[in-house]
């Protein structure tokens, strides 16, 4: 029997079938049974699919399932299908536009991700890239906060943001990281094939990712607070890219 409660599936057979189905999964939680335990078949599927997983205690699963018979495992099902980076680039080609991509570095608040998806849809950007680990995934809260945008925005979930950024640069994209201390974003040239990188709520852009940006740009701050919420900063940056694109009317750059 397949036990489903909103965005979770639990029980060994239901989780195994979910993994075999190829449906999008945000994360699997399971109780460790040792290196030679009875869940080795599940572990093999997790590794084969490169699905994020985490070992937890049995009490955690009892709480999440209201003490239903979870058999030591639970899967969080994604609220929407994930795309891949190639899909995002293909959409730009289909629209005959320069790529316009938002990359999010370990955003943990589902409301921030949902709000950004809504803005990405509004400005006509081609997609969002998030990491598989240490980041909020496409949860029900994200879907609700996005006001339906999750159904229209391509979201790629990758194992390595730095490598993905390097690949996008090879494909002709210019990368602008949004962080304090950079060039005034309103004076920077944000036209052409563009990736905007927004860091996490607390730590900002990670060191390796920052080092692989082509430039760091900042929003001018004239008040007393020193930073903006990640979704607000990201939304302002995305609209600045759109504003410059509308103004520039530059020819499409072939990539």
Please provide the average confidence, as pLDDT, over all residues in the chain: 88
Structure tokens at 61: 């699963």
Can you list the domains of the chain with their CATH numbers?
3-77 (3.30.1330.30), 85-248 (3.40.1280.10)
Cβ-defined contacts of 1-7 (< 8 Å, 24+)? 3/65, 3/68, 3/70, 5/65, 5/66, 6/140, 7/76, 7/77, 7/78, 7/79, 7/139, 7/140
Residue 86 and residue 171 in contact, taking contact as beta carbons nearer than 8 Å? no
pLDDT value for 24: 83
State the Cα–Cα distance between residues 195 and 99, nearest whole angstrom.
Answer: 8
pLDDT of 11-35, one tens digit each?
888 888 888 887 788 889 998 776 5
pLDDT of 180-198, one tens digit each?
889 999 999 999 999 999 9
Q: What is the pLDDT along the chain (255 residues), one digit of tens a residue?
A: 334 344 788 888 888 888 888 778 888 999 877 655 678 888 899 998 888 888 988 898 888 888 778 888 898 888 888 999 999 999 999 999 999 999 999 899 999 999 999 999 999 999 999 998 888 888 888 888 998 898 899 999 999 999 999 999 999 999 999 998 899 999 999 999 999 999 987 788 999 999 999 999 999 988 877 778 899 999 999 999 999 999 987 555 555
Nearest alpha-carbon partner for 153 in 123, 121, 129, 124? 121
């Amino acid at each position: 029997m397949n036990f489903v409660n909103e965005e979770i599936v639990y029980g060994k057979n239901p989780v195994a079938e979910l993994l075999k189905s190829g449906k999008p999964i945000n994360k699997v939680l399971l109780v460790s049974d040792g290196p030679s335990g009875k869940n080795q078949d599940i572990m093999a599927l997790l590794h084969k699919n490169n699905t994020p997983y985490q070992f937890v205690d049995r009490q955690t699963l009892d709480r999440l399932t209201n003490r239903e018979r979870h058999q030591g495992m639970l899967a969080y099902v994604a609220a929407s299908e994930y795309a891949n980076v190639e899909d995002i680039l293909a959409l730009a080609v289909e629209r005959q536009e320069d790529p316009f991509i938002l990359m999010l570095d370990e955003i943990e608040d589902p409301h921030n991700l949902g709000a950004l998806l809504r803005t990405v849809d509004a400005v006509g950007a081609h997609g969002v890239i998030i990491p598989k680990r240490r980041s909020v995934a496409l949860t029900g809260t994200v879907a609700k906060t996005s006001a339906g945008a999750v159904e229209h925005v391509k979201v790629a979930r990758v194992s390595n943001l730095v490598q993905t950024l390097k690949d996008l640069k090879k494909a002709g994209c210019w990368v602008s990281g949004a962080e304090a201390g950079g060039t005034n974003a309103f004076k920077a040239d944000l036209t052409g094939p563009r990736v905007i990188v927004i860091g996490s709520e607390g730590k900002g852009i990670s060191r390796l990712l920052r080092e692989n940006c082509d430039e760091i740009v900042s929003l001018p701050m004239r008040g007393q607070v020193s930073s903006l919420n990640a979704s607000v900063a990201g939304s302002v940056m995305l609209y600045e890219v759109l504003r410059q694109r509308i103004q520039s009317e530059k020819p499409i750059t072939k990539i």
